[in-house]
Chain A
Amino acid sequence: MIGTLIRLVVLQLVRERYVHAVIWVSLLFFLFCIPLGSLSFEEQERVLFHFGFLAVQLTTLGLGLVIGSGRLNQELERQTSFLILARPVSRLQFYFGMALGQIVVLALICYFLSFVLELLLRFYVGLSLPWSASLQVATGILFEAIIVMVFATMMSLFVRPTLAFFASFGLFLIGNWLPDMDYFATKSKDPLFIGFSKVFSQISPQLFRLNFRSLDLMARDLLPFSELGFALLHGLFWMLTFGSLGFLIFRRKDLV
């Protein structure tokens, strides 16, 4: 059942025009990276790598936000979900089928774009990094986008899609700015601010951990396995948390 639902979501999403448009914009951004990188004599590789993956991140994140905040809401609004729920499909299967379908689409797009970027950098510019570096960065981007998407889906169950979109974007910003908040809290020496910062860091998804692009990847080649593993486990924990909370809301929601 869940497999059929995943197929339904994937077929629909890969044919959506806005998905195609976003992918094209991302590919154009890659091309723009080449003259941008040539402006720097010493850091050409770093600039290209960084900006290329910025395009992948923005695309995946943007799609995650749009799909997460709008898709389930649209299914409910248009009553297309009723056709499925009238079949021998439980709400659990429906919710997770939809979520997994969306995750599959995000993964396809994220890895496809990363692969194109990798080819461009390797064969056009002559990038010297190992393939696994790109895989690592792409996986971090994907995990981050999935967390934001699952959160947006949960939010869209009780607020309007626009609000769910901006709330999820807020989560993305907070998740990436936690170290900055921690830094300012330490600098301020205010025990209340420091305490708040510590508590807040513990109860928010630490998305900066998944942003391997912004780490000194170029210098170290690859992150140590333990650090990578912890970041991915942390991401998985938040995906499951938001997914489960979303399902608990959906399970008893009146689909008016």
Chain B
Amino acid sequence: MKPVIEVSSLRKTFADGIRSKRVVLKDLQFRVHEGLITGFVGANGSGKTTTLKCLLKFIFPDPLPNLKMQFFDQTEFGPQVQKRLGYWPEKPYLPEQLTAREFLKLHFRLGSGGNTNNDEFTARFDEVMRRMELEAAKDRRLRNFSKGMMQRAGLAQALLCRPDLLILDEPMSGLDPDGRWLVKQILREENKRGVSILFSSHLLADMDELCSELVVIDQGEILFNGPVAEFTSTGIEITRNIEEAFARRLRERRGQL
């Protein structure tokens, strides 16, 4: 399988006060393979969001000579990659003054390099709103959306331009059980269509259900990168699920077992 994301020697240092520095990502190395759903797992403050932000160039990594961040077959993160990418950040804020239609129309234009074809947009807009079960709220201002609706509208935005790769930061946080089920269904459908997905989550039960591969990060270091089965079965005991395996590995690493 070809990697859609290949990262090596990814380090990020933040200034911590005037003189001291804090290394938050320590020479990360991992791969996300094409056509798979890959879970990005880690405890709070382990560096998940910082890693995703480095991938998307919101944060600039330390310029190490052997730093590599390759997307598809592109060595540079630029418009060629961005056109094939769907992204949804951790906090579900959207421009509240816009209606769902206006918001998605602007993103359709931005994502498709200024495409102003209204019919094309309407067809795509209707489709994503139907899939997100937001048909009744098409022309409602986003300020009147509930948190769950915001999350789904955000996901609609990520899917709008038919991406080949989805990067989602905690896509299921704040959703009720029904909303989580819907998002999982959509991720499965997109994956069937051939979309590669990298998503971070604290909800390891969801990872168990969805992911084929995992990237596990702890205190800015990659703890594991590979198939889920390998993660849950290595060691002396075979663990029942990702949650148990995750807890065990973390404790082993920190010398608590």
Report the separation of the CA atoms of residues A87 and B111 in the bound assembly, to the nearest whole angstrom. Answer: 5
- Closest residue of chain B to A16 (Cβ to Cβ) is B97
A4 x B114 contact (CB < 8 A) = yes
Interface-located stretch among B38-46, B82-90, B216-224, B243-251 = B82-90
Confirm or deny: A15 has a beta carbon within 8 angstroms of a beta carbon on chain B.
yes
Interface size class of A (residues with CB under 8 A): 20 to 34
With A85-B58, A87-B107 already in contact, the answer to whether A79 and B93 are too (CB < 8 A) is: yes
B60 touches A254 (CB 8 A): yes
- Report B73 CB to chain A, min CB distance, Å: 17
Whether a CB of chain A sits under 8 angstroms from the CB of B206 is no
> Whole-angstrom distance between the alpha carbons of A254 and B78 in the complex?
17
CA separation between A12 and B85, bound complex, in Å? 25
Contacts of B97 in A (CB 8 A): 11-12, 15-16
Structural contact, B56 and A86, CB atoms closer than 8 A: yes
The bracket for how many chain B residues form the interface is 20 to 34
Closest A residue to B82 by beta carbon equals: A88
Contact present for B107 and A83 (CB under 8 Å)? yes
Quick one: which of B53, B60, B157 contacts A83, CB cutoff 8 A?
B157
Is A88 a contact of B111 with CB atoms below 8 Å?
yes
**CB distance A254 to B58 under 8 Å?**
yes
When each residue 53-97 of chain B gets 1 if its CB lies under 8 Å from chain A and 0 otherwise, what string results?
A: 100111110000000000000000011001101011111011101
- Choose one: B83, B87, B98, B106; the contact of A88 (CB below 8 Å): B83
A contacts, CB < 8 Å to B:
1, 3-5, 7-8, 11-12, 15-16, 78-80, 82-89, 252, 254-256
B interface, CB within 8 angstroms of A: 14, 53, 56-60, 78-79, 82-83, 85, 87-91, 93-95, 97-98, 102, 106-107, 109-111, 113-114, 154, 157, 167
| Among all A-B residue pairs, the 6 with the closest Cβ atoms | A88-B79, A78-B93, A86-B87, A15-B97, A87-B110, A255-B58
